[in-house]
Structure 1
């Protein structure tokens, strides 16, 4: 399903057959773009009003992908919220002290955009399934769908990404992320999107780097 130009569209399962790695033909819900030939897909397309969640290991490239490809004003990234608060706080103050405030600010911003009914791309750490449940419920209430972009980066790649941005997570937190993301990957490779997700798109670092646009458009006819 990978293309070298144009847009790869996500549509409901009954409208398109697909074969994901480990999935059955006709499932239409898991798209495996890992190993896509250069230059890979230029864009990923979703229906207007849908919600796209980007998950993966810390340092695996989630924020980079969102910053490069998400529509302007149509993304909610917890990393951006954290950085805004860091700039306000005294440098010696540990992040753990004001982390609850960052989370409240992040979820408040997310709630506002969900309430508006606009399309949105959301950064999700992947360890808290209740967040996807909340997003899936919000999508259902407005007759739309939730989609997952899952970045499959190795632990070594993720640790390198953490070092490059100058922000490492603890060994305990990283282990939790590895467990959660590994569970999502295994389910997707078996052809089973997480509960509430209409589709999963698997990307490695190479194919993710080729994505320059996450676009939302009117639904295709059935």
Structure 2
């Protein structure tokens, strides 16, 4: 049984288990997706989120919302972060060369790394900027193929905080790119708040900045 559980220090948060797909009656019948809202908990937020051993977790939100910071601090297990790939390439490239010149190569390297991580068959946490819906579709297909589930961890951070986060790290995106991210993230957030989970997702966990800061462990059982 591939279990999906979110654990807290004081209160437990349970997400549904995936049915045993080896049983004929269970084939083609998946549990209804779940939206777990951990925002505005006034300090009573989970310290850990644990997913099934072969599950895939997508961390999404605005640029500057704290996705990479959260992943580096809390993820226990395989993680694939496009920011790590960019940092690696920036260290290798001449300082005078603008990032826009080699951005396509960075993206190719990121997706190649993601493909390699998926081939291991284990659980993976993936960074997603929110505008690449095709990546979530790819991961949803992979989750179905391996008999596991895809989960979305959505950081709900106001645009002003996200812009401040970009300034703090000394790196930002263009105004045009940020508006695209903001529009895509806004549509996703509004849909989730209506209970409309993206196709292929078994659950969505909503966190604000306080809930994200409280998380110390994002990992996989087994």
Q: Distance in 2 between matches of 1:48 and 1:11?
A: 14
Q: 1:43 aligns with which of 41, 48, 52?
A: 48
Could you say which residue in structure 2 is the equivalent of 1:77? 81
Q: Is the 8 A contact 1:53 1:149 kept in 2?
A: yes
Deviation for aligned residue 1:39: 4.8
Deviation for aligned residue 1:28: 5.8
Map 1:66-215 to 2 at 5 A: 66-72=71-77, 74-215=78-219
Give 5+ residue unaligned stretches, structure 2: 1-5, 20-30
Q: Higher mean Cα deviation, 99-108 or 4-13?
A: 4-13
Q: Is the 8 A contact 2:18 2:149 kept in 1?
A: no
Q: Distance in 2 between matches of 1:201 and 1:13?
A: 16
Deviation for aligned residue 1:192: 1.4
Q: Distance in 2 between matches of 1:98 and 1:149?
A: 29
Deviation for aligned residue 1:7: 5.8
Deviation for aligned residue 1:13: 8.0
Q: Distance in 2 between matches of 1:205 and 1:91?
A: 33
Could you say which residue in structure 2 is the equivalent of 1:33? 38
Q: Distance in 1 between matches of 2:87 and 2:13?
A: 32
What is the TM-score when the length of structure 2 is the normalising length? Answer: 0.88
- How much is the aligned-residue C-alpha RMSD, in angstroms? 2.0
Q: Is the 8 A contact 1:69 1:214 kept in 2?
A: yes
Could you say if the C-alpha distance between residues 29 and 131 of structure 1 is closer, same or farther in structure 2, counting changes exceeding 3 Å? same
Give 5+ residue unaligned stretches, structure 1: 15-25
Q: 1:216 aligns with which of 197, 201, 220?
A: 220
Map 1:15-26 to 2 at 5 A: none
Q: Distance in 2 between matches of 1:108 and 1:77?
A: 12
Could you say which residue in structure 1 is the equivalent of 2:28? none
Could you say if the C-alpha distance between residues 203 and 8 of structure 1 is closer, same or farther in structure 2, counting changes exceeding 3 Å? same
Deviations 1:136-180 (A, max 9, x none): 011110001100000000000000000000011111000000111
Q: Distance in 1 between matches of 2:181 and 2:97?
A: 25
Deviation for aligned residue 1:5: 3.3
Q: Is the 8 A contact 2:7 2:48 kept in 1?
A: no
Aligned length: 206
Q: Is the 8 A contact 2:35 2:203 kept in 1?
A: yes
